[in-house]
Amino acid sequence: MNVLIVGNGGREHALAWKISQSARVKRVFVAPGNAGTALDAENVDISSTDFPRLIKFAQQNDIGLTIVGPELPLTKGIVDAFTEAKLRIFGPRKAAAELEGSKVFCKDLLRHADVPTSDYQVFRNADNATTYLKEREDVPVVVKADGLASGKGVFVCATRAEATEAVKRIGRNKEFGDAGNQIIIEERLDGQEVSVLAITDGRTIVTLPPAQDHKRAYDNDTGPNTGGMGAYSPAPLIDEAMLHLIEEQVLVPTVHAMKRGRRPFKGVLYAGLMMTNQGPKVLEYNVRFGDPECQPILMRLQSDLLDVLEATVDGHLEELEPLRWDPRSAVSVVMASEGYPGTYERGFPIRGLDEAAKIPDVKVFHSGTASVDGQVVTNGGRVLAVTALGSSIGTAKLQAYTAVKCIRWKGAWCRKDISDRALASVNFDN
């Protein structure tokens, strides 16, 4: 079978790498892909939101399954368009992708389904939100734009003044455009964040091992928010019993509520959770694999990913054998461009990739790279996700950083403490 993967980041490289290992796969294409996907698959120069051209490509190249990486094509209805053209595609339809596309839709669904989440209020304009802030106690809140804002539309506020400023930026200045047509003000939660990803065909839920990512730019979780500077799996914070509780209190009621609401959910359901003193609470849902959580999780998957995704699309997940996982740990370290998450330059030649590839149990996934005259150059803020397996989180970390040391370009940097949080929580437990 030929497979098409839509997207161009580290997540899509990991998907392409894993899918290529399936004995049933003939050719793997990535649209538009990057310099890394060109090594493990074949790149196709079509944007991830150009549905007519993607459909034409799928029809002309005998594509048996299309896999969608990023949220934007999903919320724009790529799955509906492919399905109408009688093409098989993995991911939720537009109506189900609202779970990520509208934070108001998500919160309302959680409330109706009795899934633990923070208290919240929704406002249709800045005036009402500002009045509400003025009239209530001056407590920490989180202010969120309703729609997709590339991770920039959320403000974690310590004071009323900060919250009022956030409301102004979202609602009055319209910094996020129409994504700010509705504003959520919610209770601020305390605790450690974890990601629990599951694959579901709308009825059966297959939970993947938990992962934790590092969103802040600098060591010790300081500095500005980013797309993610690294991740690891498993997450020692979540044991079997806790994972079971999360399935029962969070994932199952969500999937049922989507079905009842006539938006059956097929695809990856990614719960962003805060582990509070009152138990896990949902911060948000994503409707696709996380980047970089996808990289360590897929490094550990031993089953054929194609079997899993096909069973989901065809609604046979119930019949699938339990997934097999590498018992080892995986750690993924993101190497970034100088200036990221602010402005940065592109086009710097990357050296040492061949050397890094020789380190055992390491895979270098490309996030923002391009190939220019046969030379791999930087082409994004997050450039590489250097991922390693090891007998423990500590060993995997060491191995990943050994590979990181081989790689250089002008301005390259990374966090030095990826996965230390896991080690800290293990020590704490002992």
Ligand X SMILES: Nc1ncnc2c1ncn2[C@@H]1O[C@H](COP(=O)(O)OP(=O)(O)O)[C@@H](O)[C@H]1O
110 binds ligand X (CB under 6 A): no
Q: Which of 12, 186, 304, 417 binds ligand X (CB under 6 A)?
A: 186
Q: Measured from the CB atom, is 7 or 153 closer to ligand X?
A: 153
Q: How far is CA 311 from CA 12, 65, 308, in A?
A: 20, 11, 5
Q: Would you count residue 224 as binding ligand X (CB under 6 A)?
A: no
Binding span for ligand X by CB under 6 A among 88-96, 148-156, 243-251, 298-306: 148-156
Q: Which of 314, 339, 369, 327 is nearest to 204 (CA)?
A: 314
Map residues 217-256 to x or -, x wherever contact with Mg ion holds by CB under 5 A.
----------------------------------------
Q: Determine the interface stretch with ligand X among 61-69, 184-192, 258-266, 291-299 (rule: CB under 6 A).
A: 184-192
Q: Is 272 in the site for Mg ion (CB under 5 A)?
A: yes
Spatial distance between the Cα atoms of 23 and 36, rounded to a whole number of angstroms: 21
Q: Shortest distance, CB of residue 145 to ligand X, whole angstroms?
A: 9
Q: What sign does the CA torsion over 67, 152, 101, 293 have? A: positive
Cα 223 to Cα 305, 325, 344: the distances in Å are 36, 34, 17
Given the DSSP bridges, would you call strands 42-43 and 28-32 parallel, antiparallel or unpaired?
A: parallel
Exposed/middle/buried for residue 277 (C-beta within 10 Å: 0-12, 13-18, 19+): exposed
* Residue 213 is a binding residue for ligand X (CB under 6 A): no
Q: Tell me how far apart the alpha carbons of residues 113 and 251 are, in angstroms, rounded to a whole number.
A: 10
* Total binding residues toward ligand X, as defined by CB under 6 A: 13
CB atoms within 10 A of CB 372: 12
- Return contacts of 127-130, CB within 8 angstroms, 24+ apart: 129/167, 129/171, 129/183, 129/185, 130/164, 130/167, 130/168
Binds ligand X by CB under 6 A, chosen from 53, 88, 174, 188: 188
User: What count of other Cβ atoms lies within 10 Å of the Cβ of residue 365?
Assistant: 30
Question: For ligand X, which is the closer residue by CB, 71 or 201?
Answer: 71
Task: Select from 127-135, 188-196, 250-258, 393-401 the region that touches ligand X (CB under 6 A).
Answer: 188-196
152 binds Mg ion (CB under 5 A): no
Is position 156 an interface residue for ligand X (rule: CB under 6 A)?
yes
Binding of ligand X at residue 185 (CB under 6 A)? no
- What's the distance, CA 269 to chain centroid? 10
Applying CB under 6 A, does 65 fall inside the site for ligand X?
no
Q: Which is nearer to ligand X, 184 or 404 (CB)?
A: 184
| Paired tokens of 183 | 């504003």
Beta carbon of residue 193, minimum distance to Mg ion (angstroms, whole number): 9
**Residues found near Mg ion in the complex (CB under 5 A):** 272
Q: Which residues bind ligand X (CB under 6 A)?
A: 118, 142, 151, 154, 156, 186, 188-189, 193, 215, 272, 283-284
